[in-house]
Amino acid sequence: MKKRKVLAGLILAAVLVFTLGASQSMAVDTIKVGIVLPLTGSLAKFGEIEKQSFDMAMEEINAAGGINGKKLDLLIEDTTGRPEVGRSVVEKLITKDKVVMIGGGYSSSVTYAAAGVCQQNQMPFLVNTGSADNITSSGWDWIYRINPPVSKYAGAVESLLTQVIKPKKVAILYENSLFGTKGAKEFEATCEKLGYEIVLKEGYEHGGIDFKPVLIKVKQHEPDIVYMISYIMDASLLMKQSKELKLTPKMFIGGAAGFTLPEFKDNAGIASNNVISATLWHQVLPFPGAMDYYNKFVKKYNKPTEYHGAEAYAAAYVIADVLKRAKSFKNTDVKAALDATDMMTVFGPVKFTTWENMKNQNKVATYVVQWIDGKLELVWPEEGATKQFVYPVDWLKIWGY
């Protein structure tokens, strides 16, 4: 009996040692990175295209050897598009999941809230979409951003306005969010600099279903351009209801976001045709792998991708590069590797520097796209454009009146 007990004890000990060893091996062989995105709620379409791009990149990175032989594990958490949820999931990723860094970040309000938690916990956070200026202008040294701040979104639009459209009167409509209000303020400053008269500047609550009252105001002022900063459903409804009201400025211009997603064309229908938008990327740009990423995404998910997806895909590769170069996975070593980042991605060059009032901010160009015959075409700058800019536009003819 005594021998049996000793034997049983030895077997149990061996099992425990094996289990503990396997667990430790898994921990050592897997590098966990937290990704925060809106996977449910009104911003879910943005989260979806970014999650799909992160997933695709992670599969490729791991197939190519991962992080120096270790598997990259992107733990993607749903923020639901709410700042309080964003804070909560980041806290969970840091304290419970023990991630080595955080990535993602879609809407500005959620990203700003998540960034505050990361800064407080000295957790490196690589933002790929949240664009409010204060995300990188708050002096935070643990926050890095690939995409430009919203104050720079209209750079290419500005040159198109001055060289081609030459408006005199402008109406600005924007969502009452961190992204919308900041973007509207910056575009207002651009118009004032260029000498354009702002005949109307009005915010609205996200998720409305009737924009006709504000669009009637716009029509009464007869602006040359209507500049809109909106997420996907609002962008689609604004254009559909502009069509219904026969609102015909020289040009409808989107401030990126909802005006570039494939769903904008699907939801707005014919009202999307010839609408232009600021954008941060197009697959024809001369960045290594840009078109290849686009084609792989279309093949894998049976739909096109655009700048949001490219930002996420590029961010995954920046994360992998950072972790490969880091001396260890301690926060300070990961931060040091982020500081030293200087690489080319499908989204363009990535190097984090301090410029103007921004800290750890990448610096990239912006572009103008236009919906032409159901496709999102690059139209400005002219060099490299996939189609010639359609202008002037006979909106009533386009809409079938």
> Does the CA dihedral 368-210-81-71 come out positive or negative?
negative
Residue 296: HSE in the Cβ half-sphere, 13 Å Cα cutoff: 17
Query: Domain segments of the chain: what residues?
Result: 26-148+286-361, 152-279+366-398
In this predicted model, which residue has the larger pLDDT, 206 or 359? Answer: 359
Query: What is the token pair recorded at 64?
Result: 């190519």
DSSP state of 161: I
> Taking all residues of the chain, what is their mean pLDDT, rounded to a whole number?
93
The radius of gyration of the chain from alpha carbons, rounded to an integer in Å, stands at 24
pLDDT surpasses 50 at 21? no
Residues 240 and 257: their CA atoms lie apart, in Å, by: 17
Residues 252 and 238: their CA atoms lie apart, in Å, by: 10
pLDDT tens readout for residues 58-70: 999 999 999 999 9
> What's the pLDDT band for 28 if we cut at 50, 70, 90?
low
Query: Is CATH 3.40.50.2300 the classification given to domain 152-279+366-398?
Result: yes
pLDDT surpasses 70 at 348? yes
Question: What is the secondary structure of 5-26 as a DSSP string?
Answer: HHHHHHHHHHHHHHHHHHHHHH
Please give the helix or strand (H or E) that residue 77 lies within, else none: strand 71-78
Q: At what angle do helices 83-95 and 108-120 cross, to 10 degrees?
A: 30
pLDDT tens readout for residues 101-116: 999 999 999 999 999 9
This prediction has a pTM of: 0.90
Same fold, 26-148+286-361 and 152-279+366-398: yes
Length of the chain: 401
Work out the end-to-end distance of the chain between its first and last CA atoms, rounded to an integer number of angstroms.
96
According to CATH, the topology of domain 26-148+286-361 is Rossmann fold (3.40.50)
pLDDT surpasses 70 at 195? yes
pLDDT value for 18: 45
> What's the pLDDT band for 283 if we cut at 50, 70, 90?
very high
CB-based burial label for 261 (10 Å; 0-12, 13-18, 19+): buried
pLDDT value for 206: 83
pLDDT value for 208: 83
